[in-house]
Structure 1
Amino acid sequence: MINFNGTLATQDSNVLTQNRGFLYGDAVFETVKIVNAKVLYLEDHYFRLMASMRVVRMEIPMNFTMEYFEEQLISLTNQLAISRSARARITVFRNDGGYYLPTDNTVSFLIHATALDAVSYSFDEKEYEVDLFKDFYITRQLLSSIKTTNRILNVAASIFASENDLDNCLLLNDSKNVVEAIQGNVFMLIGHKLITPPVAEGCLNGVMRKQILKLAKTIEGIEVVEEAISPFELQKADELFVTNVIKGIQPITKYRKKNFKVNVSKQLISKLNEIITVA
């Protein structure tokens, strides 16, 4: 079961014929976590989606309000009888017509959802090893900061990680600085300084990134900054972790011969779960 333009349809419905999202990557998307029929960080997701549509010159429908956005997500999870926790993705694509140059800037959307095992964010104690992915680089530009369906670099990095028995890879930009991980933003703790790359470096303007920047400032003794991360600094780090809205925080325990602590990661996960409890 999916939600196609506000209408519930079967999963095998043919909505991909001449689809510009499929043909040209002419689509943007948001992945959200829904807990007890509530979209977490709804406002942040909605405004990022609207900003993404504006960047790529899509026409935003008059009825596409934040309330409509929420209603469509919840209606699908209700239909699927997912009551506690769900992962849902809304993909907005430009309507058929044209080749590279579209003949129409109106849009359609598609939502699908799956159940998640847990409501709260959990702390995974297992080893989590990463390395650098250097086959392709992220460019420092506005398109890199939004979620489009052109994610072939992330696909290639995921295959590289699998082939090399890694849990994830750190992606580099065209200045050879660490930008993010395959499926989330990256944070590095050195001493009492928590660092994440600024959006200008080419990283995704992540919804969970924003939450972590805010929560980390409430931890006494931690200085939170946005600045470029050189690969050479990774060996000096005390902690490394990846953030996204589905997982929350994934601590990195190993990079090459360096092992990392997880103390601040644990504190932040606890703070995230307090927010969910309040919500």
Structure 2
Amino acid sequence: MVNFNGTLISDNEVQISTKNRAFKYGDAIFETIKVLNGKVVFAEDHYFRLMASMRMLRMKIPMKFTLEYLQDEILKVIKELPESSSYRIRLTVFRKDGGLYAPVTNEINYIIEGTPLENVEKETYRMDVFKDFYNYSGLLSTIKTTNRMLNTLAAVFAEENDLDNCILLNERKGVVETINGNIFIVKGNTIKTPALTEGCIKGIIRKKVIEIIEKHSEYTIEETTISPFEIQKADEVFITNAIVGIQPVTNYRKKEFSTDITNKIKSSLKLATVTS
């Protein structure tokens, strides 16, 4: 079952016309959200990011789109799914049908989908750089639009080369993010992550991890430009996203990483997740 504009219907009942703007122009945004033990994890952060993205893309925000409303709409879907302690939710918002590049309206439709989650963290995690195409820096790249062709091609590349993930670069050949999350590198007591000006997604877990590190006086966090060569020299590397939380990277090309600091941060994030 999916939630289409507040109505629960089966997957095969969802009808998308040839005038659908998400299909024709990628005129849509989405949030990937975790529900844990019946609770929407970091609901407020997801909500404010969604509202900010809709405003930036000139989508008309319905009056009923409150935090409480969207949480209730998500939980409606959960009740129709097989029982599990955790679920992956995708909330997609797209402009209503019509128009060419210029839409006929800025009003929106939305779809909420859900699937039960199993353990998604891997003990061994291999990664390399995807160099075929670039993720161009700029404010629009920080929004989770449905235009994910670069991520798709990088995912195909990863499968072809027996990798778990790939690092995406911008036009200046700086590190941006990975296929499905933000990236952090650890060198000594300094932890770096690409600045938003590099073109990375404004990740919810990215934000939470930065907050955690700022509270640890023994570590320094830097949002900055990162070269691929710095990854080779790093002590530890980890990826963040809403579903896994923190995924330690164990191998980058021939380099093997430790996970000591990563595991400490992961423990703090798990505590924040439970208390959110």
- Normalising to structure 2: TM-score of the pair? 0.96
The structural deviation recorded for 1:278 is: 3.4
Aligned pairs for 1:25-64 (under 5 A) are 25-64=26-65
Question: Aligned-pair distance for 1:275?
Answer: 2.5
CA separation in 2, counterparts of 1:231 and 1:136?
15
Q: 1:110 matched to which residue of 2?
A: 111
Task: Judge conservation of contact 1:123–1:269 (CA < 8 Å) in 2.
Answer: no
- 2: CA distance between counterparts of 1:191 and 1:278? 30
Secondary structure of the residue aligned to 1:47 is helix
CA contact (8 A) 1:123 1:266 kept: no
3-state secondary structure, aligned to 2:168: strand
Q: Which residue is equivalent to 2:5?
A: 5
The code of the aligned residue for 1:168 comes to N
Match of 2:200 in 1: 203
Across the two proteins, how many residue pairs are aligned to each other? Answer: 275
* SS in structure 1 of the partner of residue 209 of structure 2: helix
Please name the residue that 1:149 is paired with.
146
1:130 to 127, 130, 138: 127
Distance, in Å, in 1 between the alignment partners of 2:121 and 2:98 is 47
Q: Distance in 1 between matches of 2:211 and 2:178?
A: 20
Q: In structure 2, what is the Cα distance between the partners aligned to 1:227 and 1:129?
A: 24
- Name 1:238's counterpart in structure 2: 235
SS class of match (2:11): coil
Q: In the aligned structure 2, how far is the partner of 1:123 from the partner of 1:266?
A: 13
3-state DSSP of counterpart to 1:60: coil
Report the equivalent of 1:16: 16
Structure 2 vs 1, CA of residues 61 and 277 (structure 1 numbering), >3 Å: closer, same or farther? closer
CA contact (8 A) 1:31 1:89 kept: yes
C-alpha separation in 2, matches of 1:276 and 1:30: 17
User: Cα distance, 1:165 vs. partner?
Assistant: 1.0
SS at structure 1 position matched to 2:12: coil
Distance 1:152 1:59, change over 3 A: same
Write out the 4+ residue segments of structure 1 that deviate beyond 3 Å after TM superposition: 276-279
User: Deviation digits for residues 178-198 of structure 1, max 9, x if unmatched?
Assistant: 110000000000111000011
SS in 2 for 1:217: helix
Distance 1:218 1:123 in 2: 25
Query: How far did 1:84 drift?
Result: 2.1
Structure 2 contact 82–116 (Cα < 8 Å) conserved:
no
CA RMSD of aligned residues (A): 1.4
Following superposition, the deviation at residue 104 of structure 1 comes to 1.0
Distance 1:92 1:83 in 2: 26
Mapped partners of 1:255, 1:84: distance in 2: 33
CA 1:164/1:81 → structure 2, altered by over 3 Å: closer, same or farther?
Answer: closer
Give 5+ residue unaligned stretches, structure 2: none
AA aligned to 1:36 is: N
The aligned residue for residue 165 of structure 1 is 162
How far is the alpha carbon of 1:220 from its aligned partner?
4.5
Per-residue CA deviation, residues 93-117 of structure 1 (Å, 9 max, x unaligned), is 0001111111111000000000112
Q: Distance in 2 between matches of 1:243 and 1:187?
A: 8
CA distance in 1, matches of 2:122, 2:217: 24
Q: What amino acid maps onto 2:255 in structure 1?
A: K
**Residue identity opposite 1:124 in structure 2:** K
1:260 counterpart = 2:257: yes
**2:117 & 2:82 partners in 1: Cα distance?**
12
Specify the alignment match of 2:223 in structure 1.
226
Amino acid at match of 1:238: D
Distance in 2, matches of 1:109 and 1:46, equals 14
Q: What is the distance in 2 between the residues matched to 1:123 and 1:152?
A: 25
Which residue in the other structure is 2:184 paired with?
Answer: 187
Letter aligned with residue 4 of structure 1:
F
Find the counterpart in structure 2 of residue 91 from structure 1.
92
Q: How far 1:216 sits from its partner (Å)? A: 1.9
Q: Percent identity?
A: 49
Unaligned runs of 5+ in 1: none
- Partners of 2:126 and 2:218 lie apart in 1 by 28
Indicate if the aligned counterparts of 2:121 and 2:244 stay in contact, CA closer than 8 A. no
